[in-house]
Structure 1
Amino acid sequence: MSEQRNAIPLILTGIASVIGTVLVLWYYGYVHFAKEEDALLLAEFTMLKTVPGEDYKMSLKPARQVAQCFDGILVLFDTEQKGLTGVLVDDKKQAVRCMGQETPRRSVPRQLPRP
């Protein structure tokens, strides 16, 4: 008795399962669909050089980002979009370091004594 099964319900169930899985992962925060406004470009930041005897102007309103040092690297946190963090880099993608903290160094592998 060879019985033929209709494959269409199996295909639709598989597609629905994949879509449902992605939606559940997105709801719980395991999948994030990046938007253009989520990115902070380096061009949005400018360094004001302070020269003795010269005045410079800046806004009294603080930026949306807050900076903190982690292992000698400046990390930015966005105060409006929870969970949005980034590392401040220059045009060569080199991380901006923090003053007053040790720069992370490559660790030299230690040789363990042989028994």
Structure 2
Amino acid sequence: MSQNEARYSIRSLFVTALVTIIGTVLVLEASGSIKHSDNKDHVPVGDFQAIHITPGETFRMSPKASELHAACENGYLAIAADVDPSFRGILVDYKNRGVRCYRPTATAPAVVPQPDEPVQQEKPASDE
């Protein structure tokens, strides 16, 4: 190799790579290829795992409690934040099916009544 051959320093290679990445992101943003959702209703609240527990088997779990709690919402299990109760999401499985907060039985109704439906209250029995 000759002494006149141009050589590039590692610093110039890093700067070139950084400028290329930033330029690519800016071009994709300007062309609208990067999608930004303003609808926060369909954003996942969190990622959860189920731990299969068998009798007599121990499992490890963090001693710190999470900042979330569960609530039953229209027959489905909802996860809500302790600090902001309005931040709530329905727990779904890998096929996006809701997880029920009750166990169906053969005698139970197939559909959970919605809270918007009027509930008929029983009149107290009189001693007449």
Largest Rg, 1 or 2: 2
